[in-house]
Amino acid sequence: MADVTIRGAGIFGLSIAWECARRGARVQVVDPAGPGAGCSGGLVGALAPHVPENWNDKKAFQFESLIMAESFWAGVTEAGGVPAGYARTGRLQPIADERALELARRREETARALWRGLAAWRVRPAGNLGPWTPPSGTGLVIHDTLSARMSPRRACAALVAALAVRGIEVVKQAPDKGQVIHATGMAGLEELNRAFGRSIGSGVKGQAALLRFHADEDAPQIFADSVHIVPHADGTVAVGSTSERDYDDPQTTDSRLDDVIARAVAIMPVLHGTEVVERWAGIRPRARSRAPMLGRHPLHRGQFIANGGFKIGFGMAPRVAQVMADLVLEGRDAIPEGFRPEASL
């Protein structure tokens, strides 16, 4: 008999399953498509914080999760023996002009207070940071030490391996047993839309690419011209992504990805001529509130929901897993008001 049934084996479902199992619960994970089959099987893996200003529950929650991430993923890797591809390598952003510099300086100050000395947001000379640095109009860049990289597929594989050590497999079908958590991504949002007759959540298409390039193991990710450039430990660099509300085919790549790749090469000319190893497209679930949807399920009485990770699902996963396990196993509710399903209904 299982204490917890989790429907959905994306990053939210697998992370919650691991946290529940780690606390001693008997868990089953059910997903007809298998682990990491949706947008959790993407490429980019840019775990980056919101800017340190206008602080709110969402930014605080994400900050706590990013701080937790190192120990969370180390525990998963140790338990299952499969590396998750996580490294807190930081992020660089070029500062184009004096106006952007003034804003960056203000955020440098607010980060000192809001990030509590656990991470830093600094303005630094680009010339002091080595060859893996984007060109900057002012010769200065923002360097934050909170951002981390994550290989989405490796992370899912690491969680599956850690769960397997505890005798938990992802199965295609199984009846509900015990407490039930729905972490079903777009399928779950579409179910809500049909039931309420309006948009509770929607899908946003993203396109990304994987390039063959060996950066230093501790090379930071780069964000410029709305493009994420993320070096991974396996000799690849991920670039992405688009955010498309209107699309014809959710699974195909097109000229929009070509444009992303071209912009990435313009930002980092060292990538010129590199092989494109893979092109990827997928649909990311976004709740109407733009925050993750966590708590009691609006349709299934006595059950729970964890959905709407959108572009921050991997960064939010450690803290999402913690608060959902608190709620389901112990009845402790630490979910921010803006994350509750009611915020999107």
**pLDDT by residue, tens only, the chain of 345 residues:** 579 999 999 999 999 999 999 999 999 999 999 999 999 999 999 999 999 999 999 999 999 999 999 999 999 999 999 999 999 999 999 999 999 999 999 999 999 999 999 999 999 999 889 889 999 999 999 999 999 999 999 999 999 999 999 999 999 999 999 999 999 999 999 999 999 999 999 999 999 999 999 999 899 999 999 999 999 999 999 999 999 999 999 999 999 999 999 999 999 999 999 999 999 999 999 999 999 999 999 999 999 999 999 999 999 999 999 999 999 999 999 999 999 999 999
Is 124 in the same domain as 155? no
By the 8 A CB rule, do 124 and 3 touch?
no
**Radius of gyration in angstroms for the set of CA atoms belonging to the chain, rounded to a whole number:** 20
Same domain, 80 and 216: no
User: Do 177 and 319 reside in the same domain of the chain?
Assistant: yes
Are 262 and 116 in a shared domain?
no
The identity of residue 157, as a single letter, is A
pLDDT of residue 1: 52
Same domain for 338 and 222: no
- DSSP, res 87: B
**What is d(CA 12, CA 6) in angstroms, rounded to the nearest whole number?**
10
CA angle at residue 132 from 127 to 136, to 5 degrees?
A: 50
N-to-C CA span, the chain: 34
The helix/strand count (H/E) of the chain reads as 7, 16
Question: Which residues are 204's β-sheet partners?
Answer: 284
Q: Is residue 126 a contact partner of residue 60, using CB atoms and an 8 Å limit?
A: no
Residue finishing a domain among 100, 124, 145: 145
Number of domains in the chain: 3
Q: Which two tokens stand for residue 167?
A: 């005798």
| Coil, helix or strand at residue 128 | helix
Q: How many degrees, rounded to 5, is the angle at CA 236 between CA 46 and CA 184?
A: 45
Q: Where are the alpha helices (DSSP H) in the chain?
A: 11-22, 57-80, 98-114, 152-165, 185-196, 255-267, 313-330
In which element (H, E) is residue 205 found? strand 201-212
CATH code of residue 254: 3.30.9.10
Q: Are residues 56 and 38 in the same domain?
A: yes
User: 38 and 123: one domain?
Assistant: no
Whether residues 265 and 119 fall in one domain: no
φ, ψ dihedrals at 191, nearest 5°: -60, -45
Residue 87 corresponds to which tokens in the numbers above? 């490294």
Angstrom distance (rounded) from CA 317 to CA 206: 19
CA atoms of 19 and 193, how far apart (whole Å) = 29
Looking at residue 8, the DSSP 8-state letter turns out to be: -
Peptide bond into 241 cis (omega under 30): yes
**Angle CA 215–94–255, to nearest 5:** 70
**DSSP code of residue 126:** G
Residues 230 and 97 in one domain: no
Same domain, 187 and 80: yes
Residues 187, 218: one domain? no
Q: β-strand 4-7 against 179-182: which pairing, if any?
A: parallel
> Is residue 165 domain-shared with residue 302, that is, in the same domain?
yes
Both structure tokens of 273: 């001529």
Q: Which domain holds residue 115?
A: 91-145
Task: Specify the amino acid at residue 165.
Answer: V
Q: Which DSSP string corresponds to 253-318?
A: --HHHHHHHHHHHHH-GGGTT--EEEEEEEEEEEETTSS-EEEE-SSSTT-EEEE--TTSHHHHHH
Final residue of a structural domain among 122, 145, 168: 145
Q: Which residues contact 109 (CB under 8 A, 6 or more apart)?
A: none
Domain end call among 265, 283, 301 = 283
Q: Contact, 303 vs 178, CB < 8 A?
A: no
